[in-house]
A and B are shown apart, each in its own frame.
Chain A
Amino acid sequence: EPEVTQTPSHQVTQMGQEVILRCVPISNHLYFYWYRQILGQKVEFLVSFYNNEISEKSEIFDDQFSVERPDGSNFTLKIRSTKLEDSAMYFCASSEAGGDRGENEQYFGPGTRLTVT
């Protein structure tokens, strides 16, 4: 069964460093998402991406964050200058279509645990 994959599974970085989290969505999916889950808290939406541009973003997704689809398979989340409060699990998700077509099931990757020290 197709699945979303994410690398690395765990990333440790020092405050102020740049990190890139990588995701490979399911191959025929067109919509891509990043979510964040601070330890013990709920999963929060960061950004959605469609047709090579951001379609929605939350207030969490400030100028320190950026997303990119550098080729036909990868979808990346970059944090330019990490802060302690960026420590969290980051989930990538993809869906075949948007909700207006009723096919809104988002498939989540296993997550990347980011630890900022």
Chain B
Amino acid sequence: AQKVTQAQTEISVVEKEDVTLDCVYETRDTTYYLFWYKQPPSGELVFLIRRNSFDEQNEISGRYSWNFQKSTSSFNFTITASQVVDSAVYFCALSAPNTGNQFYFGTGTSLTVIP
């Protein structure tokens, strides 16, 4: 069975601080995909990143970076120099061909960036 755990329910940081959102996943599949989505107060889901299980290379995109470690089944997301516009709920998700490519979402981490 697939499972995604986001242990941090809510995080508050002061603007310009760095923040890391944790994601731990469980799967027995060797081929799988990991995702991060942002859900701002308006409610839509905004795609941030996809990683496949064969690519452990970390990625940086502007102020965002992702650390994928298969050894610990983690796919953590760091925002550097946080801004008020980063305030949102962030979801980590997993999908795998063996389970029909449906997304298994974590429970989300609500990030509040205080000006």
Confirm or deny: A52 has a beta carbon within 8 angstroms of a beta carbon on chain B: no
A/B pair count, beta carbons within 8 Å: 66
Number of B residues whose C-beta is below 8 Å from A?
A: 26
Q: Does A113 sit within 8 A of B, measured CB to CB?
A: yes
Distance of A30 Cα from B25 Cα, bound (Å): 27
B103 near A: Cβ within 8 Å?
yes
In the complex, A44 Cα to B95 Cα: how many Å? 12
Cα A42 to Cα B97 in complex, Å, equals 21
B 73-104 to A, binary, CB cutoff 8 A, 1 in contact else 0: 00000000000000000010101110111111
Q: Is A84 located at the chain interface by the 8 A CB criterion?
A: no
Contact check, B44 vs A99: say whether CB atoms are below 8 A apart: no
Residue among A58, A98, A104, A109 with the highest chain B CB neighbour number at 10 A: A104
28 A/B residue pairs, CB under 8 Å, sorted by A = A33-B103, A41-B107, A42-B91, A43-B91, A43-B93, A43-B103, A45-B103, A48-B102, A55-B100, A58-B102, A89-B43, A91-B45, A98-B97, A102-B52, A104-B33, A104-B101, A105-B35, A105-B47, A105-B50, A106-B95, A107-B47, A108-B45, A108-B47, A109-B44, A110-B42, A110-B44, A111-B43, A111-B44
